[in-house]
Amino acid sequence: MKLLFIGDIVGSPGRKVVREVVPRLREEHGLDAVVANGENSAGGSGITPKTAKAIFESGVDVITSGDHLWDQKEVIELLNDEPRFVRPINYPPDNPGQGFTVRELGNSLKLGVMNVQCRTFMPPLENPFVAMRDAVAQVRAQTPVILVDVHGETTSEKIAMGRFLDGQVTAVIGTHTHVQTADEQIFPGGTAFLCDAGFTGPQESILGRSIEPIIQRFLMSQPRRFPVAENDVVLKGAIVEFDETTGQATGIQRVSEPLPKST
């Protein structure tokens, strides 16, 4: 079986390429599930029920998030009411929302999706390793097929999480840096790993934002608005092939699919 993970969706260009490309990828690759990080889908910062709805309608089964979780106040509706939406699991207790979900999909697949946020150069949260150690067993009691979105700044912390979870989950795929890495591999225990899936949106940019205001920010050290860029829109991510019975990965390949020129 196969699943697609889509890296950070940035603004309306990112949502558009997801809408245009995901149905074709589902058919071409025989995908059984699609998971996407949507934390930048609303104007390039945060997520709302409206942008989440558009992503789900494009063929995405579960949406993950990260450190921009709270950038849009409407997110509270998703956290309280949307079972297909997950936030980092290592928020302090009593926060709204969930750090993992298990979805029964129409193809008889039961998929667990977990979201965890790293701590190095990131807003301080609870220990991500302890949080995952305590939660993975709960998900494995329901299904061996588990995808983890590890949202973090440093390669070392994300690789450490992948190694820590090797043999316990199907795949650990990183998000947050918006730069797709070339280190896809399957660890000895059968867990697929990619340090960062990259971002889905306008690549003629600086991490999805217009180039000139960011250059001016670095030059002048003055505040600037960073609008979402528009050109060279690409869906970035990875396809993981796995054994439904054991949950072990058998293959992983990076994805880089441009928006069709006719759209």
Residues noted as catalytic: 68
How far is Cα 263 from Cα 257, in angstroms, rounded to an integer? 14
Q: How far is CA 53 from CA 45, 58, 78, 208, 242, in A?
A: 16, 9, 10, 21, 28
How far is Cα 16 from Cα 28, in angstroms, rounded to an integer? 19
DSSP alpha helix (H) spans, 40-152: 49-57, 75-81, 128-140
Whose CA is closest to 8, among 34, 33, 36?
A: 36
CB-based contact 151:174 (threshold 8 Å): yes
CB-based contact 120:153 (threshold 8 Å): yes
Token reading at 106: 């129409």
Backbone φ, ψ for residue 134 (5° rounding): -80, -25
Chain centre distance of CA 236:
10
Token reading at 66: 């990260």
